[in-house]
Amino acid sequence: MKKNYVLDTNVLLHDPTALHAFEENNVIIPIYVIEEIDNFKKQQDELGRNAREVSRIIDGYRVVGSLAGGVDLPGGGILRLMFAPPAEGIPRHLRTSHAKDDLILAVALRVKKTSGDVPTIFVSMDTNLRIRADALGIEAEDYQKGHIRTHEVYTGRAEMVAEGDAINQLFKEGWAELPKEAEELVPNQFLTLTAAEGGSQSALARVSAKGDCLLAVRQFNAPVWGIKPRNREQIFAMDLLLNPDIALVTLVGKAGTGKTLVAVACGLNGVTDEQLYERLLVSRPVFPLGKDIGYLPGTIEEKLNPWMQPIYDSVDFLLSAARQERKEKTPYGGLIDMGIMQIEPLTYIRGRSIPKQFLIVDESQNLTPHEVKTILTRAGEGTKVVLTGDPYQIDHPYIDSLSNGLAYAVARFKGSSIAGTVTLEKGERSKLADEAANRL
């Protein structure tokens, strides 16, 4: 049965292709949404680009036919633009100072009243507007393109019971056959194996890229740029980061779990020791992605210093840790001068091709799925991309813990032979930082 979906402004600003995401159902856009989108079209950030893209898509349908009467969508539904008299059907005590929101809800009410038995659903990424819609008797939903919103977030690891012989084979030969209960395992997923016979026998393993066997996880007998993994999740993360066959690594975890530190350490190792990459390229979103870094005096590097200080802190820590072992005396500025490391804003990544580099995008939970796609499609031959972030520390107004680009990448690349993910849970920064992350 067909349904009517009334879209809010933030849905189209989040995903300009949302018009095509509702299959055979009808899509209704309140004319007031177009007016709000018009306010964003001159911006040079991602919202501005999305606003212009939405306008182009809708204008393309206008050429086909009357948007007021309805134009056929590729999926079988109809696209319509509608308006409603000011606050039609909205009780005075439920109106707000946000006049456009009232008008958009009025359109949803009109669609519901004039659609007979066809269900009407209001789609918005604004939590409070969905609550208001529900109070008016309108069914409301969050935008869930790609069905990536789920309570079962893929963590990249699992625990499993295995035969003692399989564990012994892992230690001796570095591989073992998949357990019989391995139907739901995916390539590059990590396992903590315990012996079926009981006892303390256990092992760490990773499902092979082909998904046909288990591989022993790398042993870290020597430090990597002065650090060794402190817990099981960091072992898993560094196993992926040091594997040149894994082109995309997503590290998810709260503050202080070591995501950025291990990524930078492995990146420096790949550039200087292994010489697998030409440069370590590090970036963080200058929120929002694409926003001009401003009219402050100075070079790009000087303007970026406040944003990139956490990266500099990590590098300084690694240089300090490696000083005894490697006799490393170069400050992070020296690494930049020598071309080993480069700090760059994501603002200028469009149109680039980035070959043979170790690219770390920190704080990537503040990216939209479209922005993550833009970054990943810039990767050239031999480039490794690492996305790190905490999906519960989001500053972007139009995404949440499960609709952000980091979560999107984790869900979409689950099972890929060239991608892997690890969720880090144990804080290693300090006892205070770990307690704060858990209690506050």
In 3D space, the residue among 317, 292, 350 whose CA is nearest the CA of residue 43 turns out to be: 292
DSSP state of 20: G
Cα–Cα distance for residue pair 357/386, rounded to 1 Å: 11
Q: What is the pLDDT at residue 423?
A: 95
Cα–Cα distance for residue pair 426/66, rounded to 1 Å: 57
CA distances from 291 to 64, 348, 366, 396 (A): 34, 10, 13, 13
What Rg do the C-alpha atoms of the chain give, in angstroms? 25
Identify each DSSP E strand in 143-231 by its residue range: 157-162, 175-176, 190-195, 202-207, 214-216
Q: How far is CA 251 from the centre of its chain?
A: 10
How much helix, strand and coil, in percent to the nearest 5, is found in the chain?
A: 40, 20, 45
Task: Scan for tokens 């709260």, then name that residue.
Answer: 254
- In the numeric block, which tokens belong to residue 243? 């594997």
- In the numeric block, which tokens belong to residue 228? 């060794």
- Half-sphere exposure of 113 toward its Cβ, with a 13 Å CA cutoff? 11
Q: How far is CA 154 from the centre of its chain?
A: 13
Which of the pair, 55 or 89, is modelled with greater confidence?
55
Q: How far is CA 434 from the centre of its chain?
A: 23
Name the pTM for this structure.
0.77
Q: What is the pLDDT at residue 374?
A: 87
Task: Kindly list the structural domains of the chain, giving each domain's residue range(s) and its CATH number in brackets, ordered by start.
Answer: 4-143 (3.40.50.1010), 149-217 (2.30.130), 222-439 (3.40.50.300)
Residue 260: helix, strand or coil by DSSP?
helix
Mean pLDDT confidence for 11-22? 89
Q: What is the pLDDT at residue 283?
A: 87
Cα–Cα distance for residue pair 86/431, rounded to 1 Å: 56
In 3D space, the residue among 154, 126, 150 whose CA is nearest the CA of residue 140 turns out to be: 126
**pLDDT tens string 161-201:** 888 888 999 999 999 998 877 778 999 999 999 988 777 78
Q: What percent of the chain has pLDDT over 70?
A: 85
Residue 18: helix, strand or coil by DSSP?
helix
Highest mean pLDDT among 76-85, 116-125, 143-152, 398-407: 116-125
Judge contact between 126 and 10, C-beta under 8 A.
yes
82, burial (CB in 10 Å: exposed 0-12, middle 13-18, buried 19+): buried
Question: In sequence order, which residues have a C-beta less than 8 Å from that of residue 422 and are 6 or more positions away?
Answer: 155, 156, 157, 190, 233, 236, 237, 240, 249, 250, 251, 252
Cα–Cα distance for residue pair 79/72, rounded to 1 Å: 6
Question: In sequence order, which residues have a C-beta less than 8 Å from that of residue 88 and are 6 or more positions away?
Answer: 106, 109, 110
Whether residue 369 is predicted with pLDDT greater than 90 in this model: the reply is no
Q: What is the pLDDT at residue 289?
A: 45
Mean pLDDT confidence for 47-73? 92
Q: What is the pLDDT at residue 54?
A: 94
